[in-house]
């Protein structure tokens, strides 16, 4: 079907004003579900990081509404929720039932993501489903807070197939008891689960209210029309892009298990009239370590990259996904099969997968961007806190620099593209856990230079004050840097280093603890007064640095203290007068002309 035929085929029966009213009502219901989860939850992953997503599906198992939560979750729901319902059987559901699962091999994201689904009954029949996905801080397993150098799913934690968590509005206490008996933080885990469940009951009330107000037939017709409108708009957008096959690749520097081995994600973006295929055939076999993606994760990363390239306002729902097909061969690192570890795929591989899709788009579009820092900064802290009276587990997330783009510099200290998450505020972390933040600032020692430079990452120093604190991590970009585009330079690297109490020099994990990887390791023991340095990378640059507006370079040097006078001249060809804090325009012109002449001469000789 071509774009024009798709546009002609859709027939909207709803009043367009009423269609928008109901569409926005459903989207706001998803937002309200999220607010309820945030306010009633226990862990910082919920009430500070907001690492959850809420959606609504129709009775045909298509998404009818989403709010602006984590893209990594929302894209996975397109496959995960239908798979879970079909496995249980809609005919086996009754009012007050809630389905629960965290299985990544059933189109899920990764083991820490818990999915809850509640069928909405109206006059004895299922008319919709409400659902949420949320990241549980601890799921048992070999490391506190889930992220380390796992080699299979058994080391990750407890795994549940789709099952009924509630029946007839009654909690199945045995399942909860199994769950909380297998985690380090039972109180927080139980409280967070109840926050998820409470938001589903809120959605039930909102769905009943809208149907009572407008009637079931009107509600269902508006949902159908909203899906069709989004599909039509998406097809029209795709039809504006040139047909073709665009190959791109991204490299994962290591897996934490096999020394010195890199792993490649290869994607072919196929634009065919008003449809898109993202084909990952040719990607490397599954890692030995935890950086593999499930199919749900890979599909979500692909949708994420595609939807970032969309121009104009398309209502995001299941209709957007109808023209999109994902091919991810089983057994590869983009569709790992049981029992391969996938715990880090949805967190630290996902950003590179998104950037691979954007790299393919960059071959025909100026809307793409250079690569971002490419790591969620997943650092897990755990142990026994005598002050708190028991075990603790805390997952630290960190912002990175985003890549430069055609019309702007990259954002500073922003979470990677797979989530809208925030880090835990210093005051909250220090109140709840045995650590102190000694430093927290932008790291200005590296930059992806370009016409539009990459954003800056962060520098943080933790000091540990507990008896013993176990540190685990899954981070990327220690070796492979974020790539630039259109002549922009690469970004910087991640750094994790340690020093014992009283020492002056920092050491990496390899040097101090003998780990395989500089950024993927489990249960390194720190003692009171020991410190950890954590630096996240800046994004890649976009465009030739010699084309950067000299006044922007002046601002970077004199107003924002982001680079030196030497960098301004050596990299950007901009000569600044420190006395007047201005651009020496004539000297800058000569400097840049000399650089360009030299580059042309080099090309001629080549």
Say what the pLDDT of residue 597 is: 73
pLDDT in tens, 453-493: 999 999 999 999 988 999 999 999 999 999 999 999 999 99
Give the separation between CA 341 and CA 312, rounded to whole angstroms.
Answer: 38
Give the separation between CA 333 and CA 284, rounded to whole angstroms.
Answer: 6
Give the residue from 22, 25, 24, 54 showing the smallest Cα distance to 37.
54
Specify whether the CB–CB gap between 338 and 320 falls below 8 A: no
Q: Which residues contact 315 (CB under 8 A, 6 or more apart)?
A: 23, 226, 229, 230, 233
CB atoms within 10 A of CB 352: 31
pLDDT in tens, 392-413: 999 999 999 999 999 999 999 9
Residue 559 burial (CB < 10 Å; 0-12/13-18/19+)?
exposed
Query: Please, what is the average pLDDT of the chain?
Result: 95
- What six digits make up the tokens of 215? 């009637």
Of 5-9, 277-281, 323-327, 505-509, which gets the smallest average pLDDT? 5-9
In this predicted structure, the answer to whether residue 600 has a pLDDT above a threshold of 80 is no
Say what the pLDDT of residue 17 is: 95
Mean pLDDT calculated for residue range 21-43: 97
Say what the pLDDT of residue 9 is: 60
Say what the pLDDT of residue 181 is: 96
Q: Give Cα 345 distance to the centre of its chain.
A: 10
Say what the pLDDT of residue 21 is: 97
pLDDT in tens, 493-515: 999 999 999 999 999 999 999 99
Give the residue from 493, 540, 235 showing the smallest Cα distance to 371.
540
> Of all residues in the chain, what percent carry a pLDDT higher than 70?
97
Say what the pLDDT of residue 1 is: 40
Say what the pLDDT of residue 601 is: 53
Specify whether the CB–CB gap between 497 and 526 falls below 8 A: no
- What six digits make up the tokens of 168? 């007839």
pLDDT in tens, 417-435: 998 899 899 999 999 999 9
Please confirm whether the linkage preceding 484 is cis (ω < 30° from 0): no
The full set of domain ranges for the chain reads 16-230, 369-543, 549-593
User: Looking at the domain covering 16-230, what would its CATH class be?
Assistant: alpha beta
Q: Give the pLDDT band (50/70/90) at residue 166.
A: very high
pLDDT in tens, 514-560: 999 999 999 999 999 999 999 999 999 999 999 999 999 999 999 99
| 3-state SS class at 256 | coil
Q: For the whole model, what pTM was predicted?
A: 0.95
Mean pLDDT calculated for residue range 105-125: 97
CA distance readout (Å), 31 to 27, 206, 305, 574, 595: 7, 12, 23, 47, 52
Provide long-range contacts, Cβ within 8 A and 24+ apart, for 46-50: 46/134, 46/192, 46/195, 48/422, 48/423, 48/424, 48/425, 48/428, 49/135, 49/397, 49/421, 49/422, 49/423, 49/424, 50/420, 50/421, 50/422
Q: What is the 3-state secondary structure (H, E, C) of 367-382?
A: CCECCCCCCCCEEEEE
Q: Where are the alpha helices (DSSP H) in 242-317?
A: 295-308
Give the residue from 241, 362, 368, 346 showing the smallest Cα distance to 301.
346
In this predicted structure, the answer to whether residue 80 has a pLDDT above a threshold of 80 is yes
DSSP label at residue 104: G
Q: Give the pLDDT band (50/70/90) at residue 599.
A: low
Q: Which residue has the higher pLDDT, 445 or 321?
A: 321
């Amino acid at each position: 079907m071509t774009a024009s035929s798709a546009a002609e085929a859709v027939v909207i029966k709803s009043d367009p004003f009423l269609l928008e009213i109901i569409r926005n009502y459903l989207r706001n219901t998803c937002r309200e579900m999220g607010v309820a989860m945030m306010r009633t939850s226990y862990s910082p992953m919920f009430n500070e990081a907001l690492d959850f997503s809420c959606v609504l599906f129709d009775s045909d198992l298509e998404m009818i509404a989403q709010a602006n939560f984590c893209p990594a979750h929302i894209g996975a729901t397109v496959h995960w929720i239908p798979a879970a319902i079909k496995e249980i059987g809609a005919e086996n559901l009754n009012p007050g039932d809630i389905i629960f699962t965290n299985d990544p091999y059933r189109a899920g994201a990764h083991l820490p993501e818990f999915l809850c689904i509640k069928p909405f009954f109206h006059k004895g029949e299922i008319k919709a489903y409400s659902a949420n996905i949320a990241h549980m801080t601890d799921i048992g397993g070999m490391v506190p807070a889930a992220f380390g150098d796992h080699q299979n799913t058994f080391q990750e934690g407890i795994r549940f197939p789709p099952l009924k968590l509630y029946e007839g509005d009654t909690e199945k206490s045995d399942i909860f008891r199994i769950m909380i008996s297998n985690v380090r933080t039972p109180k927080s885990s139980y409280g967070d689960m109840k926050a998820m469940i409470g938001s589903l009951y809120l959605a039930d009330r909102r769905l009943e209210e809208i149907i009572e107000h407008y009637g079931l037939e009107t509600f269902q017709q508006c949902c159908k029309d909203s899906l069709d409108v989004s599909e039509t708009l998406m097809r029209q957008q795709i039809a504006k892009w040139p047909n073709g096959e665009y190959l791109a690749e991204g490299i994962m520097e290591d897996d934490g298990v096999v020394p010195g081995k890199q792993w490649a994600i290869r994607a072919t973006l196929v634009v065919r009239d008003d449809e898109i295929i993202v084909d990952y055939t040719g990607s490397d076999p599954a890692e030995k370590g935890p950086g593999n993606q499930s199919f749900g994760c890979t599909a979500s990363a692909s949708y994420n990259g595609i939807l970032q390239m969309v121009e104009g306002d398309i209502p995001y729902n299941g209709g957007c996904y109808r023209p999109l097909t994902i091919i991810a061969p089983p057994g590869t690192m983009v569709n790992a099969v049981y029992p391969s570890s996938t715990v880090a795929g949805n967190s630290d591989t996902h950003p590179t997968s998104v950037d691979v899709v954007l790299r393919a788009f960059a071959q025909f579009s100026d809307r793409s961007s250079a690569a971002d820092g490419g790591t969620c900064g997943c650092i897990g802290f755990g142990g026994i806190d005598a002050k708190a009276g028991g075990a603790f587990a805390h997952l630290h997330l960190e912002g990175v620099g985003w890549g430069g783009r055609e019309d702007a510099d990259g954002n500073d200290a922003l979470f990677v593209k797979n989530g809208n998450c925030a880090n835990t505020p210093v005051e909250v972390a220090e109140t709840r856990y045995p650590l102190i933040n000694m430093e927290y600032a932008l790291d200005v020692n590296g930059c992806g230079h370009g016409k539009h430079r990459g954003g800056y990452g962060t520098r943080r120093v933790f000091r540990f004050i507990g008896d013993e604190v176990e540190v685990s991590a899954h981070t990327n970009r220690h070796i492979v840097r974020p790539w630039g585009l259109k002549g922009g330079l690469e970004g910087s690297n991640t750094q994790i280093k340690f020093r014992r109490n009283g020492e002056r020099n920092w050491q990496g994990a390899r040097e101090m603890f003998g780990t395989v990887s500089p950024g993927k390791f489990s249960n390194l023991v720190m003692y009171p007064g020991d410190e950890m340095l954590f630096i996240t990378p800046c994004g890649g640059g976009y465009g030739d640095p010699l084309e950067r507006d000299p006044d922007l370079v002046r601002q970077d040097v004199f107003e924002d203290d982001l680079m030196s006078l030497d960098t301004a001249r050596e990299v950007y060809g901009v000569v600044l007068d420190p006395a007047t804090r201005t651009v020496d325009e004539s000297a800058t012109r000569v400097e840049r002309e000399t650089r360009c002449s030299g580059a042309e001469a080099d090309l001629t000789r080549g």
